[in-house]
């Protein structure tokens, strides 16, 4: 990756990472008085006698069991079990629950990003190049990634492009930073690098972009549709290295991701 490109994106990346880290450490507002019933989706969730690790665990909520939210403390939620007993679970465990609609829990300190933490993702999208030598060429992309923390993910992608006079393949690796993962409609920033191999049809027509490395940057929006699905819309710019000079491309795309 060219040093000039790294210098260009480093301040932007650093700002997003620092902001997201600070947001993760802020305490949430108090829970509203309305009671919420949720369903546990993990194998079990430990129930403590009080809002702290020092309190003993007296019960384990099993997968599929319903719980009712009663009150909140920083990092903890008081719940009522199906047998009528009450206890405390961590906000992290509440993030692994769903509402009756099948959507992740919508509570303070519990976000869509928290729900999808430590998840793998599969994605499929399609779009069109809007500028540069590949303008008006359609493309589709398949992606596979991992989300180690609530507000960031890494993915690898492979795609094909096709136009009236061109055909090609491309692949790349990207870092995705999503600082507002608690929102249903959540913006994200993507940076990455890859390689594309493009042929002209017929081959008598020369192309500057052939087998070339590229760097890309994108801004997009995730819309969380439910338990394990999101819809994604993205605008991306690419800087492609050629024999003569760098070529600039732009593209938009829309697609779906599923998590597991």
Dist CA 145 CA 165 (whole Å): 32
Q: What mean pLDDT do residues 109-114 have?
A: 59
Q: What mean pLDDT do residues 86-97 have?
A: 81
Domains in the chain (CATH in brackets) are 37-110 (2.30.30.40), 115-259 (2.40.160.20)
Residue 150: which residues within 8 A CB-CB, separation 6 or more? 24, 111, 113, 114, 116, 117, 181
Q: Is the pLDDT of residue 204 over 70?
A: no
Who wins on pLDDT, 103 or 34? 103
pTM: 0.63
- For residue 239, CA distances in Å to 205, 217, 249 come to 22, 9, 6
pLDDT tens digits along 120-174:
899 999 999 999 888 999 999 999 999 988 889 999 999 999 988 888 999 999 9
Q: Is the pLDDT of residue 101 over 70?
A: no
Residue 160: both structure tokens together: 């094909």
Residue 104: both structure tokens together: 């992740």
Residue 120: which residues within 8 A CB-CB, separation 6 or more? 144, 145, 146, 147, 259, 260
Which helix (H) or strand (E) segment holds residue 10: the answer is helix 3-25
pLDDT tens digits along 27-46:
333 334 456 778 777 767 88
Residue 39: what pLDDT?
Answer: 76
pLDDT tens digits along 213-225:
999 999 999 998 7
Dist CA 91 CA 144 (whole Å): 28
Q: What mean pLDDT do residues 241-247 have?
A: 84
Who wins on pLDDT, 27 or 211? 211
């Amino acid at each position: 990756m060219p040093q000039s490109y790294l210098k260009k994106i480093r301040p932007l990346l650093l700002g997003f990472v620092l902001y997201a880290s600070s947001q993760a450490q802020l305490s949430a507002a108090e829970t509203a008085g309305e009671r919420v019933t949720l369903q546990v989706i993990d194998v079990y969730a430990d129930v403590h006698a009080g809002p702290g690790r020092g309190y003993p665990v007296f019960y384990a909520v099993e997968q599929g069991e319903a719980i009712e939210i009663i009150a909140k403390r920083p990092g903890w939620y008081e719940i009522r079990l199906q047998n009528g007993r009450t206890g405390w679970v961590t906000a992290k465990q509440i993030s692994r629950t769903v509402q009756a609609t099948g959507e992740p829990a919508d509570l303070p300190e519990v976000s869509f990003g928290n729900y999808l933490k430590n998840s793998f993702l599969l994605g499929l999208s399609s779009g069109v190049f809007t500028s540069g030598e590949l303008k008006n060429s359609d493309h589709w992309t398949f992606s596979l990634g991992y989300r180690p923390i609530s507000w960031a993910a890494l993915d690898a992608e492979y795609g094909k492009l096709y136009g009236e006079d061109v055909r090609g393949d491309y692949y790349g690796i990207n870092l995705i930073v999503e600082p507002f993962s608690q929102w249903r409609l959540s913006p994200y920033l993507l940076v990455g690098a890859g390689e594309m191999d493009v042929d002209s049809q017929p081959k008598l027509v020369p192309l500057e972009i052939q087998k070339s490395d590229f760097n890309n940057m994108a801004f997009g929006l995730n819309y969380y549709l439910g338990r394990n699905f999101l819809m994604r819309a993205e605008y991306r710019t690419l800087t492609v290295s050629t024999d003569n000079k760098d070529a600039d491309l732009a593209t938009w795309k829309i697609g779906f991701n599923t998590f597991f």
